[in-house]
Amino acid sequence: MYDLRKFFIDGAWVVPAGRREHPLIDPATETAIGKILLGTPEDVDAAVRAGRTAFATWQQTTREERIELFERIIEAYRARTQEMAAAISDEMGAPMRFALRAQAASGLGHFGAVLAVLKDFEFEESIGSTLIRREPIGVCGLITPWNWPINQISCKVAAALAAGCTIVLKPSEIAPISAHLFTEILVEAGVPKGVFNLIDGEGTTVGAAISRHPDIDMVSFTGSTRAGVQVAKAAADTVKRVSQELGGKSANIILEDADLDAAVKDGVRAMMVNTGQSCNAPSRMLVPARVYDKAVAIAKAAAGQPVIGNPKADGTTMGPVSNRRQFEKIQCLLQQGLDEGATLVAGGLGRPEGLEKGYFVKPTIFADVRNDMTIAREEIFGPVLVMIPYQDEEEAVRMANDTIYGLSGYVYSGDREHARRIARRLRVGMVHLNGAPTDIDAPFGGYKQSGNGREWGREGLQEFLEIKAIMGYSDTGG
């Protein structure tokens, strides 16, 4: 059992003001595996005070001092990677192989990527007689989700630390185990007192208190678009910066000249990764009408490939979704898809055969979907793919862009230049050509209601910086 009933504030593990316990549930068994305490605005005040005090000195640290800290963090993290993978598997149900190679590895990867940026980042430059300085924005509230817990924690924390900011982190109360382990890693690496602070709690209390706090200079939020709107509203009165990475309903356009068999199989596989719990998942597959029936048959066969079950068992490739609320939401949307006339090709309602406990969802394919159906408009956040036929490329691009979201897009073509032309027309922050994976050095973020700002790499670091112009700093041209 995980006993995580302390917060990390001002360099110490402390008993919080909030005393309400919250159970941690293993999504594969629906049994309690630990507990946390839910924080209060008073806990936020204490963490912000610590961050504000520490900022006075941390912002003055040199590039070399931050580099040395990063190197110690990376060394400490690497030594506990297996432990991190086990924590993530316990808290959100990722199969152990995936938890180790993707989930836990992503946390280490972000620190390595930001370290590389930090080594040559230009914090100052001259334009004529004016000096342009990029300075840390201040105390940052980081609010992170349960689907990729350490990935989102690490990409935010690494960028904030590299920029010279101090931090108040609120991980998801559903998946806080990895966050507590991550805090131990930072302590072992020697993060200075008050620079990093951890508080558990619910979004409606701790998240809201962070968002509206007058002494927090920036909020970086990852989660649903609905919750992101609430964060922005709460932050508006203090005119703080808000960076948001929100929902998605990404289109996967398979062009006429693509290898249909390979493209469809890859699209199904990408949709099922992490049990479909990725904001950038390719959840709408757009297929030329003339090969649509063939594509549906390929997708149906591919949906039977995941091995679903105990995340700790060898050979399991798909675990449960992360919590009961998400399981119930998915079931409701599956029923809505049927009610609106979509054709169920694979999967459907209920748990997979032989699994009577746990938040397991069948890998599901819907055909005969229109782009105006609920399952084509709403982010399902589970292993559910909808397939939509199109008559020509103009219609495909129009449907791809016909969404409130704009996070990611996917294009498959036998001609890379053809794929590039389509990619340029998509109103999204990221496009994957022919199954290209995400690039940890590239900016991650979206258009429209998928959020604002960018994470990862150089652009992620820039989010945590203010820009100061000092005019007359030198002689003209100096």
332 is catalytic: no
Q: What is the DSSP code (8-state) at residue 389? A: E
Cβ neighbours for 69, distance < 8 A, ≥ 6 positions apart = 161, 189, 190, 191
Q: Which long-range contacts (CB under 8 A, 24 or more apart) does 56-65 make?
A: 57/192, 58/136, 58/164, 58/165, 58/166, 58/192, 58/194, 58/195, 59/135, 59/136, 59/164, 59/165, 60/164, 61/164, 63/118, 63/119, 63/121, 63/123
Residue 351, classified by CB atoms within 10 Å of its CB into exposed (0-12), middle (13-18) or buried (19+), is middle
Quick check: 456 and 128 in contact, CB under 8 A? no
192, two tokens? 């200075």
Helix axes of 416-425 and 393-401: crossing angle, nearest 10 degrees: 40
What distance, in Å, lies between the first and last C-alpha atoms of the chain? Answer: 62
378 is catalytic: no
| Distance of alpha carbon 359 from the chain centroid | 21
Of 105, 100, 96, 91, nearest to 200 by C-alpha is: 91
Considering the candidates 91, 140, 155, 245, report the single residue annotated as catalytic: 245
Considering the candidates 91, 279, 379, 455, report the single residue annotated as catalytic: 279
Phi, psi of 291 (to 5 degrees): -115, 15
Helix axes of 149-163 and 63-79: crossing angle, nearest 10 degrees: 160
Biggest alpha carbon distance in the chain? 77
CB atoms within 10 A of CB 122: 7
Q: Alpha helices, DSSP H only, in 59-205?
A: 63-79, 81-92, 96-98, 105-120, 149-163, 177-189
Q: How far apart are CA 307 and CA 395, in angstroms?
A: 36
Q: How far apart are CA 181 and CA 108, in angstroms?
A: 13
Active site amino acids: 245, 279
